[in-house]
């Protein structure tokens, strides 16, 4: 596999790696090392079915179901569908407004997720260029760059990650078509 760093603090592109064919322990260890080193890796030219995506994802650890179950894949609940397309009956195919603000996936859990895996089936294009983007921030580098006085102040604070606060905000303030969360969710 070929690893090409993409940014000063974060990100690498990985070429010449076929996830669908399965990875032996040495290849997975090299991939995992790149993930630890760069935080975000983009693995090019992949062609995975849902089960292959789940099998690959499990190599990073136990999978978690997203609490917002309305956009789970109907046959593979560990796969969440993000899409602006609609079903023939007019209902959203997937979550049409995911990623509308900066967030960390599953950060509301007692133990936040180790990783999130995004797999694009279709990317909207105009004039040969992709529309939209997914951005990542190197929060450890941002913290390291803080003024020492601010860093000291932050060390005394505690953050609360509350999933429904943002979810409900998207419905109330942004008119999201996502269904309200149930009490159990």
Give per-residue pLDDT as tens, 50-84.
999 999 999 999 998 888 888 899 999 999 998 88
Identify the residue whose tokens are 């009490």. 183
Report pTM.
Answer: 0.86
CA distance 84 to 92: 7
CA distance 121 to 9: 28
pLDDT for the residue numbered 92: 84
């Amino acid at each position: 596999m070929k690893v090409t760093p993409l940014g000063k603090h974060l990100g690498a592109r990985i070429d010449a790696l076929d996830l669908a064919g399965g990875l032996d322990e040495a290849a997975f260890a090299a991939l995992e090392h790149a993930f630890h080193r760069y935080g975000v890796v983009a693995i090019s030219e992949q062609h995975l079915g849902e089960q292959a995506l789940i099998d690959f994802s499990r190599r990073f650890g136990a999978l978690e179901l997203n609490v917002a179950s309305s956009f789970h894949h109907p046959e593979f609940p560990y796969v969440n569908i993000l899409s602006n397309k609609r079903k023939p009956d007019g209902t959203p195919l997937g979550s049409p407004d995911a990623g509308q603000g900066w967030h960390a996936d599953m950060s509301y859990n007692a133990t936040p997720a180790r990783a999130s895996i995004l797999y694009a089936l279709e990317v909207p294009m105009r004039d040969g260029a992709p529309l939209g983007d997914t951005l990542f921030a190197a929060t450890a580098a941002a913290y390291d760059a803080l003024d020492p006085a601010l860093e000291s102040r932050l060390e005394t604070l505690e953050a609360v990650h509350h999933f429904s606060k943002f979810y409900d905000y998207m419905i109330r303030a942004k008119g999201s078509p996502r269904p309200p969360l149930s009490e159990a969710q």
